[in-house]
Structure 1
């Protein structure tokens, strides 16, 4: 079983039997490398680490890099890719991933050893991998990030307040770009559409609605002139694999 984003354990202090809260010194938090998936949440609010519990989708975990594998770098919130070394501590989000050219991985049900399955910062346990892949970078979770009240921190904290949908007559033209697999050219097509429409004098926004949390597509659409550019991490999801409708 995987805890849902709206589970009571996510929004209130944890009451799980056997759980433990440990102090998280600010110096330790600042020394850790935060991933792209954490960019919408103020990590400075994290003051404790929660152990002995089941993680939830989108929950932030402080983890130690045990061994560097396929992902030799982690994408930071600003898009820079920081090199990883054994012993580094990172802040990433728990989630699932399905990428035919890389890994299929699922949420673990405990805080045991797992893998970094996306450079944007997704922690999971690998089920299978493409034949050309090196073993995934291995992680040893230390604990889930919580605030001073013991409330779990994660992507759910970055979800914006509800916005009323526009009236039908005010809705902008929407063009959907779809493809059957990764690396099919979806983002490239969307970027050139955005560039062309901007060149025609139109205001263009973009949204990446499926995939795994990483900045490459967001940055490419931004570079093409789209603004604003959103992705599904703003809905509290580190990836859309196994996400409920």
Structure 2
């Protein structure tokens, strides 16, 4: 394989992951005839098992998407020699995920946006002066997080994960361990292909989850914002290269 073709092949691999993931969101939204509030668990089973946040794939796979992503990235590091910058890009991708969904000097950015756009924690009793300012705190207090712009966390996380896996797992194992860079081989072909197969399997799960997320949850604007933010890190780091990583 001609090394000069490597950048083009890298780009195509990422786009081959991005295109079906975005298509799943579009098709899911187009297929939707019934949408329900995210907290309406009681009626979820009347629509479909996939309309419930308690379905097994969501409970045990999607909710731990970054843990699965980390596991596959670690497996790649064990089967191919990756440059130190790959670990730095992983650390930055993790910080991006944490800032958006877990913590950003207090509530995460998604929760801050939700409150700024009119959202609040609706409690069964009168809300105290220090009403919960994050979704996790609201749910812990027995309240409902409602009223604001609820960025689709699934669209964000699954796109962010899928694109990271394409660039940092599939590309190294399919290209860097090929004839382009024979010195990068450190494991048997069987081990490398096992990681590739596991990665593609996880991306297939992301496709399924994105379809049903768009079909049963969130409005169009929330799906769009989640998708744009899910693509943002990949676009900035791998396409525009705003950072020298």
TM over 0.5, shorter chain? no
When the two structures are superposed, what TM-score results if normalisation uses the length of structure 1?
0.25
Q: Which structure is higher in RCO with an 8 Å CA cutoff and minimum separation 6?
A: 2
When the two structures are superposed, what TM-score results if normalisation uses the length of structure 2?
0.25
For the pair shown, the structure with the greater C-alpha radius of gyration is: 2
Structure number with the higher strand fraction is: 1
